[in-house]
Structure 1
Amino acid sequence: MTSKPKVAFFDFAGCEGDQLEIINLEERLLDLVEVVEVVSFREAMSEHSDDYEIAFVEGSITTPHDVERLEEVRSNADTVIAIGSCAAFGGINSIRNEQDFQTVTERAYGEDAAMFDDPDAELFDSFEQAQPAKAFVEVEYEVPGCPIDGEEFIQTVTAILQGGDPSLANHPVCVDCKLAENTCAFDRGEICLGPITRGGGCDATCVSQGTRCWGCRGLVDNPAEDAYSEVLQEYGVTTDELLNEFTLYWSWQREHGPQADMQEVEQ
């Protein structure tokens, strides 16, 4: 009888909401631990081990120390899986990427921001841009979302353990909206990113609940940009309004593309 694969969870710059979604699986999580051995999971246990085959990484990479930790995780793991929007493509943290870094630090630290100009100041060294895990190391799989969908997480892990390929769906959220018979968010007067956001895992939950798609699952591969432009023109959405929507999750992904990997990214 073979031993159970050892898995570990690691958090970087993020809210750790994705790990909470995993804990909230409750009974399903108990089924999962029947087939894997969790050796490190700060949200759920105090024990820690660097002996693991599968590593789940949450949060964006924002400091040189983050890079060192991530590279160590990568060196220990056979498989690395980015969970959540921040780890997969920069996510919410990348809002700052299109802003002046000095302005960002002043907003965050107030009067203390001046210490960033002092080489003797004992402050952490932050990158000017928040970046996903794949900007620095090879990442085998991703489970996007803010937060992730628990069922999609289970399906991904199950496929990996069975030797399968947990490929992400490659259709826009609009497909899920049509299946759910939702009224289009544009018809409700809202700017929706559903036509170019990856569907499949969220089941168009936001639109089904009366709001719009915010783009938390990232850009779908090869989005139908021309068709989306026609929709925007039809509903009178301006370029400035649209760009403002794109900065919520996609500041890194807009620059590097939905399928960017570490070989394509300048560190």
Structure 2
Amino acid sequence: MSKPKVGIFGFTGCGGCQLEILNLEEYLLDLFGAVEIVHFTEAITEYSDNYDIALIEGSITTEHGVEKIKKIGDIAKIVIAMGSCAVNGGLNCMKNLYGLEKAKDLVYGDKKGWIDSIEVKPVDAYINVDYQIRGCPPNRFEIVDVIRSLIVGRKPEIPNYPVCIECKRNGNTCVYELGKTCLGPVTRAGCDSRCPNSADGCEGCRGPVDDPNMNAQKDLLAERGLTVDDMMAEFNLYNACKGKTIEQK
């Protein structure tokens, strides 16, 4: 029986999601033994355009990227968006808040005409995405679970409940009680409450749950003299593709 062929691709991002795969260490041999890696810029030098599963890191920020992602979508039988940039647009989407021309002026000045730069969008803006592995960086054990599930024909279990559930399970003191803000009540779990475990507030890198309890979040904010606008300013760090345009001055 032939192994599933896997291509791992990077678009606009830091490369940290792909590094998380290499950081799997004790799982790498088993993982690479179960699949055939045919494209992985950070690990191999020979590539093939014949793959069954595509893992994609990074958001789409150029016309060249649009062409490339559509080609991947045409070839792959299963597409997995990996990390905040691929799933939500990530940090790169902050560019959209200023408007494309304003952002290009600020960054590139009189050289902006040389730059292939378009409005930032996540992967699913251009192709169908079958599964999303969220986070910045994603939980590497979640990457393993998703790939293993697909190999054996089982649907991966993708969490759709708030980080607060994991936080309580881990016995953490709520960071609001420590005088800090946290997006955990409205952010999708799956990270094992990584930031609150260190007494830091969740920054929303995994994006919102499908049905966030906004009333509870508003109450928490109001108790501390904060508003939804204050929360959205933090939430836009990773989720600005769904944010509001900053008034250009």
TM-score (norm 1): 0.88
Q: Following the alignment from structure 1 to structure 2, what is the Cα–Cα distance between the partners of residues 253 and 142?
A: 17
> What is residue 114 of structure 1 aligned with on the other side?
110
What's 2:162 paired with? 172
SS of 1:60's partner is coil
The alpha-carbon deviation at position 239 of structure 1 amounts to: 4.0
Indicate yes or no: 2:209 matched with 1:220.
Answer: yes
Equivalence for 2:40? 41
- In the alignment, the residues of structure 2 paired with residue 211 and residue 75 of structure 1 have an alpha-carbon distance, to the nearest angstrom, of 41
- Residue 238 of structure 2 aligns to a residue whose secondary structure is coil
Superposed displacement of residue 99, structure 1: 1.4
Q: Matches of 2:188 and 2:25 in 1, distance apart? A: 27
Residue number among 186, 199, 206 corresponding to 1:196 in the alignment: 186
Secondary structure of 2:64's counterpart equals helix
Query: 1:1-267 residue pairs with structure 2 within 5 A?
Result: 2-109=1-108, 113-116=109-112, 121=113, 123-127=114-118, 129-199=119-189, 201-254=190-243
Q: CA deviation at 1:240?
A: 4.0
Whether the 8 Å CA contact 2:218–2:228 is kept in 1: the answer is no
Which amino acid in the other structure matches residue 114 of structure 1? D
5+ long unaligned stretches in structure 2: 245-249
The CA deviation string for residues 72-91 of structure 1, in whole angstroms up to 9 with x for no partner, is: 11111111100000001111
Aligned to 1:263: none
Structure 1 outlier segments of 4+, above 6 Å: none
> How far apart are 1:144 and its partner, in Å?
0.5
CA contact (8 A) 1:58 1:84 kept: yes
- SS class of match (1:215): coil
CA distance in 1 between partners of 2:157 and 2:141 (Å): 14
Q: How many residues align?
A: 244
RMSD of aligned residue pairs (Cα, Å): 1.4
Distance 1:95 1:185 in 2: 26
Amino acid at match of 1:252: C
- How much has 1:68 moved relative to structure 2? 0.2
Q: Which amino acid aligns with 1:32?
A: L
CA contact (8 A) 1:92 1:249 kept: yes
Post-superposition Cα deviations, 1:144-183, rounded to whole Å, max 9, x if no partner, equal 0100111000001111111111131111001111111111
The answer to whether the 8 A contact 2:183-2:231 is kept is: no
Q: Distance in 2 between matches of 1:53 and 1:46?
A: 19
> Matched residue of 1:94: which SS?
helix
**SS where residue 67 of structure 1 aligns?**
helix
Alpha-carbon distance in structure 2 between the residues aligned to 1:108 and 1:153: 34
Identity level (%): 43
TM-score normalised by structure 2 residue count: 0.94
